[in-house]
Amino acid sequence: MEVSVIGSSQAKLGASELASREVGFCNLKNNLRVLNDRVSFGRNNIRWEKAGISFTLRALQTEPVREEKKPSGIGTRSKTVDGVRLFVGLPLDAVSYDCKSINHARAIAAGLKALKLLGVEGVELPIWWGIVEKDAMGQYDWSGYLAIAEMVQKVGLKLHVSLCFHGSKKPNIPLPKWVSQIGESQPSIFFTDKSGQHYKECLSLAVDNLPVLDGKTPVQVYQSFCESFKSSFSPFMGSTIMSISMGLGPDGELRYPSHPQLPSNGKTQGAGEFQCYDQNMLSFLKQHAEASGNPLWGLGGPHDAPTYDQPPYNGFFNDGASWESTYGDFFLSWYSNQLIAHGDCLLSLASSTFGDSGVTIYGKLPLMHSWYGTRSHPSELTAGFYNTANRDGYEPVAQMFARNSCKIILPGMDLSDANQPEENHSSPELLLAQVMAACKKYEVKVSGQNSSESGVPGGFEQIKKNLSGDNVLDLFTYHRMGASFFSPEHFPLFTEFVRSLKQPELHSDDLPAKEEEGAESAMDMSHESSVSMQAA
């Protein structure tokens, strides 16, 4: 092996077989009726009561979920460690694609109440471009999401909204139909790899400012979307909605789709591939090479880079190979700068649009921790982060976020080095520490997330470790609400985790009576949520 290893893990992570079933909401029209645990709409107002929960959808108006008197313990304050606020993600398909019904309304309502009783501060809601502006440019339907916002408001929780300008295979939420139709005749609007494969779940950053969408640029379309969101949700902005994540690329993250099927925990076996082969990226590369006096460098990406699943033991990423050459610095600087410029553009758009709304703007980074223990850091390089043993690639990113007065979301707070396979020299802990150090240097606040929804060994303890100490975290979002989240195997562990954030030395036997009652009520509500979701 010719790749130098800086550090390596000691244990293999066992594969988790826990399945996570998602639940969902959808478009609210004029009335509500219950059919097979789904909610659909007509003209009449129907009141639904079960297990102490009631709500009415009157057009888009929601009655409050009934709450008992707040217990003096966990139901009165948000759980914090050194000022870290706790949120829980709603299902990715919280609004169904056909926009005709709310799925599992009982389960969601019960789940929201359970989280409130535990002292969780709020929930995160993904809002999909492919649902809201599905059929035609400029035709928006926010009704389902407005109903969820009102439900959250009535329960007394806060809301963090993620604006998703990408598609997802799981659950199946594509880009807007009209965008996909343009892509059929103009595939160059999508990222493209060396073999000509197109990544059709988000637009290439190279078309940000090109009029490829029926005469408009993607940036113009994103801006109109954000302005419509701001107008439609104005009653909630700065009160219920406290923060917004701006989608920046695949899975909402600021990165290239260097691994099209990137696992949720960021653990990859291969180096990934550079995504610079759509005609617009190649045109920009050609111009940059000619301006630098090396026109032959603009013909494409590195010729000796491995494919997606090949380990980086030969070619471009070897010690002393092309990545360390003058050419390597030329290409990797250009590739990374294109990504940072894209993030700069979209975060600037979000800051200018929402700057007077009383909300905080976030953008999400990936945690490409595979091969971090090698000198070349190939998984980071192909994803667009020029971070190697010779260069800190995250300081320019942190500077860009600071320039736009935005905060960073970092996943992987549940991942430890000890549970990574040795063969790909992964180190999520060291990578997190490096990114956090760059954020601290440029005074950028960080919001954390877990990566594995089905759980990893020692995950809760690792999260608590990352939330304590001399960190710059101000918010943590636990992903994600669903059947497994409320299961008898998981929810008690989550309850103890929440308790421990505020009272790390207090055991359940020592809880005050009212706090114990609040915890029992939360468990009851979680049981209803789990039964509802499992039955669907």
- Write the burial class of residue 20 (CB in 10 Å: 0-12 exposed, 13-18 middle, 19+ buried): buried
pLDDT, position 524: 61
Cα–Cα separations (whole angstroms), residue 45 to 31, 75, 152, 158, 515: 5, 31, 20, 26, 36
The answer regarding whether domain 85-258+329-371+390-421+429-502 maps to CATH 3.60.20.10 reads: no
pLDDT tens digits for the chain (536 residues)? Answer: 344 444 333 333 333 332 333 333 333 233 333 333 333 333 333 233 333 333 333 333 333 333 333 333 333 344 455 567 999 999 999 887 765 566 777 888 899 999 999 999 999 999 999 999 999 999 999 999 998 999 999 999 999 999 999 999 988 999 999 999 999 999 999 999 999 999 999 999 999 999 999 999 999 999 999 999 999 999 999 999 999 999 999 999 999 999 877 666 556 678 999 999 999 999 999 999 999 999 999 999 999 999 998 889 889 999 989 999 999 999 999 999 999 999 999 999 999 999 999 999 999 999 999 999 999 999 999 999 999 999 999 999 999 999 999 999 999 999 999 999 888 899 999 999 999 999 999 999 999 999 987 778 899 999 999 998 666 688 999 999 988 898 999 999 999 999 888 654 444 444 444 445 555 556 566 555 555 555 44
The two three-digit tokens of residue 445, written as one number: 């606040």
pLDDT, position 260: 77
Contact 93, 129 (CB under 8 A): no
pLDDT, position 324: 96
The two three-digit tokens of residue 322, written as one number: 């092309």
pLDDT, position 519: 54
pLDDT, position 453: 78
Instruction: Report the SS3 class of residue 297.
Output: helix
Of 185, 348, 209, whose CA–CA distance to 283 is shortest? Answer: 209
Residue 46 Rama label (left phi>0; alpha psi -120 to 50; beta): beta
The vertex-205 CA angle with 372 and 366, nearest 5°, equals 30
pLDDT, position 314: 82
Contact 145, 132 (CB under 8 A): yes
* CA–CA dist 79, 116 (Å, integer): 11
pLDDT, position 386: 98
Q: What would the pLDDT profile of 24-51 be if each residue is shown by its tens digit?
A: 333 323 333 333 333 333 333 323 333 3
What residues does each domain of the chain span?
Answer: 85-258+329-371+390-421+429-502
Contact 366, 408 (CB under 8 A): no
pLDDT, position 298: 97
* CA–CA dist 227, 244 (Å, integer): 13
- The count of residues in the chain is 536
The two three-digit tokens of residue 101, written as one number: 């019904």
In a 13 Å sphere around the CA of 70, the CA atoms on its Cβ side amount to 13
pLDDT, position 265: 56
Name the residue type at position 522: A
Instruction: Report the SS3 class of residue 340.
Output: helix
pLDDT, position 246: 98
* Residue 309, number of CB atoms within 10 A of its CB: 12
* CA–CA dist 226, 63 (Å, integer): 27
Instruction: Report the SS3 class of residue 280.
Output: helix
**DSSP β-bridge partners for residue 243:** 160, 360
To 10 degrees, what angle do helices 326-354 and 395-403 make? 20
Q: Give backbone dihedrals phi and psi of 82, rounded to 5 degrees, phi first.
A: 50, 40
Cα–Cα separations (whole angstroms), residue 208 to 179, 200, 203, 223, 381: 14, 15, 8, 12, 22
pLDDT, position 262: 64
Cα–Cα separations (whole angstroms), residue 408 to 230, 428, 437: 21, 17, 13
Residue with tokens 């000509």: 196
pLDDT, position 267: 60
* CA–CA dist 188, 167 (Å, integer): 17
Q: pTM higher than 0.85 for the full model?
A: no
* CA–CA dist 428, 410 (Å, integer): 11
Residues 6+ apart with CB under 8 A from 477: 87, 88, 89, 124, 160, 409, 447, 448, 449
Contact 496, 467 (CB under 8 A): no
Q: What would the pLDDT profile of 377-434 be if each residue is shown by its tens digit?
A: 999 999 999 999 999 999 999 999 999 999 999 999 999 999 998 888 999 999 999 9
**DSSP β-bridge partners for residue 89:** 124
pLDDT, position 242: 97
Q: Give backbone dihedrals phi and psi of 27, rounded to 5 degrees, phi first.
A: -60, 130
* CA–CA dist 31, 40 (Å, integer): 7
